[in-house]
Structure 1
Amino acid sequence: MDCNKRIAFSEPFSSHTRKVLSGFSLGVIASLLFITLLFLNSSFKFPKLQQLFLQRSQSDSTNSSWHYPFSTSNASITPLHTIQQKDESRIRELNVSKEGFQNTHLGDFELDRYNASFQTRFGNGNLTDPNGVAKVGNFLNGGSEIVAKNSSVSVNVEKTMEGETEKKSEKVGNFDYEKCNIFDGNWVRDDSKPYYPLGSCPFVDRDFDCHLNGRPDSDYVKWKWKPNGCDIPSLNATDFLEKLRGRRLVFVGDSLNRNMWESMVCILRQSISNMKRVYEISGRTEFKKKGVYAFRFEDYNCSVDFVSSPFIVRESTFKGKNGSFETLRLDLMDQTTTTYHDADIIVFNTGHWWTHEKTSKGEDYYQEGNHVYPRLKVLDAYKRALTTWARWIDNNIDVNRTQVFFRGYSVTHFRGGQWNSGGQCHKETEPIFKGAHLRKYPSKMRALDYVIPKMKTPVIYMNISRMTDYRKDGHPSIYRMEYKTEAERTAAEQHQDCSHWCLPGVPDTWNELLYASLLKYGKGIWKT
């Protein structure tokens, strides 16, 4: 009876059940065939069928945080003059784990180490900091090379299936120098260096010519800077001169920029068949005194100049009650500006003179208008000076003609004291290889993070602080002159130069990076 009832109850659904079971059986068979096909697939790294499942999930997660695995493709870096941030709600902080990046070859993003920030707009791919400052790649240096206001980095982001991660990551890890932070990397051995033979360039300051001064080793010239995630081109001197034809390149700053200027002259000179057609226009061969020096390259009708201006702002005097005394006008540019305001490329620097006793104490030295500060902290004074520089740039530079660079602070390596108290580096014969042994981002360079983003003129910041920090082996140390006796050499150990660089040497790489930066962001002929 119960059985009949059950049958009677189920009878209205029997035909439908048979249809369901029949469909279910077909589904099971199809699934088995599908699984069989998967096992027969010879390549599990790039499963073609997996894309079917990812397409929908990707379309539903356009504004979600990045998750591993992923890759960035079709990346492009484009300095823009205006940033449109209308939808601020779409900007979100990118929290990246080290594990999440281990297969992308983008380098380590140590976001907090130098107070760097990394933000992304998923809608259009712009990478900017809150001030509109472009940040490219790894920020171990406290920022990337482009720090001009209203710049941005446009990146097309594409999430891919796990099977294609390895394929795409090769593209991410090996893209060219136009799409990475060229100032973040490491030094690698390169026996093809240097650009010009040791002791061959007559325009190298004798204080920088370590080889002629008896330095016994030569490994310090056999290192190449290798950015993380890309390669940079070697400095093609012929191409550089061709692009500089009829133009002026000017280095403005202290003796570290003179170091860089002499390096550039020697690199370019090496490519000239008749080197007599390269000369300093006034015939001078010593360049230590304050002044303006210009090397003319006759075959290209161009010049590479150096303007000595260690503070960039004006050194002056003030008449007080007890007589006149030296001051530094934080509100006025140095009077040499008339010699370079119309140059085609200008590379500025200032920093090392702000560490000397007179400036660091800041007592009755810094002046603005008719006011001399009884005491002013050096970092405050440095920021005021940079603000004056930035204002002058904005008011006097033709952005359609002139490309402006600011080269960052070159790290010193005095051990056991400072430059005037027995600091040494003469026993260093190889670079630092571990980043953990490097110092923090120089505090003075943080002033640039405050000043440059407010400028209307695009400025390329050459952040060479970290790359120079590795190179404790590259300084002249005791090899600043040729010693006649061992006693002279021993005495020299008490007054070493662990600030400037041997030539050939590290400044050659600064110029290599200058060349790469011009190819990336330069105006006019540099774009071709």
Structure 2
Amino acid sequence: MNWRWKPHECVLLRFDPQIFLEFVRGKKLAFIGDSLARNHMESLLCFLSKVETPIDHYEDSEDRKRIWYFPGHEFTLMILWTKFLVNGEERVINGSSSGIFDLHPHKVDEKWTNDIPAIDYIIISDVHWFFRTIYLHNDTGVIGCVYCDTPNMTDYGVGFALGVAFRSALNHINRCENCKARVILVRTFSPAHFENGTWDSGGRCNRTRPLREKEINLSSNDWGLRSLQMEEVEKANVEGKKKGKICSIGCDEGNADET
């Protein structure tokens, strides 16, 4: 409870909601992704509500898409909920959920893409839904899977599915001709805080200090997934900077200052 987040080689001042609202006056900011993205939106909403009470502008029937509006600053905050960033549907077997998903990595999810032309700032956070049994499709049919034991089918693993989904999402934003967003941030995979076991197998959060750099396990699955996301981000940066309209994680100081 007494820790303060201090990024490496960066002096980060305490968040000031008044300054933030002035910075985003007249803009729209969207968190895109799963429940962690929603948690971040709600956290920001709580901070900003100390300065101005927002209007609950929109809520869909499943409470997935939410839009809040701060009239005094003409600022819109929203969560665009999506499981995989790309098209993915759960199989229904005998009228019940199966926990098995069919994923189309080459097709982005319209649940969020329909809204992005009007958004100024995009924050993407999405990983945990990929830890399920998934069958990967292209236009001709099933090409492989994740967490499956289907005979004569290649299990490509979580990393492959995650990488192609992020590639599709970032490419779509980069190539969106009527999108005005210049800043796209990607929140990379966050490892579990439990040590000596998982949350349900004896794991505990007993750490009294952050890991030092030399203590990080660079061969861990958590680090590997983060690295895969960073590879896709860097590829998107190269394409985006050619068009002068996208600055994702890793943007240089010049671009950051301009925005």
Same fold (TM over 0.5): yes
CA displacement at 1:447 relative to structure 2 = 2.0
Letter in 1 for 2:106: D
Distance 1:257 1:278 in 2: 19
Q: Corresponding residue for 1:452?
A: 233
Q: Secondary structure at the match of 2:133?
A: helix
Say whether the 8 Å CA contact 2:108–2:168 is kept in structure 1.
yes
Return the index of the structure with the highest Cα Rg. Answer: 1
Q: Secondary structure at the match of 2:118?
A: coil
Distance 2:26 2:13 in 1: 24
Number of aligned residue pairs: 231
Say whether the 8 Å CA contact 1:346–1:405 is kept in structure 2.
yes
Q: Corresponding residue for 1:235?
A: 15
Say whether the 8 Å CA contact 2:123–2:186 is kept in structure 1.
yes
Q: Which has the higher strand share?
A: 2
Q: Corresponding residue for 2:121?
A: 345
CA displacement at 1:299 relative to structure 2 = 1.3
Letter in 2 for 1:422: S
CA displacement at 1:334 relative to structure 2 = 0.9
Q: Secondary structure at the match of 2:5?
A: strand
CA displacement at 1:392 relative to structure 2 = 0.6
CA displacement at 1:394 relative to structure 2 = 1.7
Residues 17-96 of structure 1: pairs in structure 2 closer than 5 A: none
Of the three residues 422, 442, 457, the one matched with 2:223 is 442
CA displacement at 1:399 relative to structure 2 = 7.0
Q: Secondary structure at the match of 1:307?
A: strand
Letter in 1 for 2:114: T
Of the three residues 382, 386, 399, the one matched with 2:166 is 386
TM-score, normalised to structure 1, is 0.39
Say whether the 8 Å CA contact 2:117–2:181 is kept in structure 1.
no
Distance 2:72 2:48 in 1: 12
Letter in 1 for 2:57: I
Residues 110-149 of structure 1: pairs in structure 2 closer than 5 A: none
Q: Secondary structure at the match of 1:235?
A: coil
Distance 1:423 1:305, change over 3 A: farther
Say whether the 8 Å CA contact 2:28–2:120 is kept in structure 1.
yes
Distance 1:435 1:453, change over 3 A: closer
Q: Secondary structure at the match of 1:450?
A: helix
CA displacement at 1:438 relative to structure 2 = 3.1
Say whether the 8 Å CA contact 2:101–2:133 is kept in structure 1.
no
Distance 1:414 1:429, change over 3 A: closer
Deviations 1:98-134 (A, max 9, x none): xxxxxxxxxxxxxxxxxxxxxxxxxxxxxxxxxxxxx
Q: Corresponding residue for 2:81?
A: 308
Q: Secondary structure at the match of 2:6?
A: strand
Distance 2:196 2:160 in 1: 28
Structure 1's unaligned 5+ residue stretches are: 1-219, 360-364, 463-516
Distance 1:400 1:342, change over 3 A: closer
Distance 1:340 1:413, change over 3 A: same
Say whether the 8 Å CA contact 1:349–1:408 is kept in structure 2.
yes
Say whether the 8 Å CA contact 1:280–1:294 is kept in structure 2.
yes
Say whether the 8 Å CA contact 2:30–2:123 is kept in structure 1.
yes
Q: Corresponding residue for 2:243?
A: none
Q: Corresponding residue for 1:432?
A: 210
Structure 2's unaligned 5+ residue stretches are: 93-97, 145-152, 241-245
Q: Secondary structure at the match of 2:209?
A: coil
Distance 1:350 1:297 in 2: 26
Residues 71-220 of structure 1: pairs in structure 2 closer than 5 A: 220=1
- Structure 2 residue 125 is the aligned partner of structure 1 residue 371: no
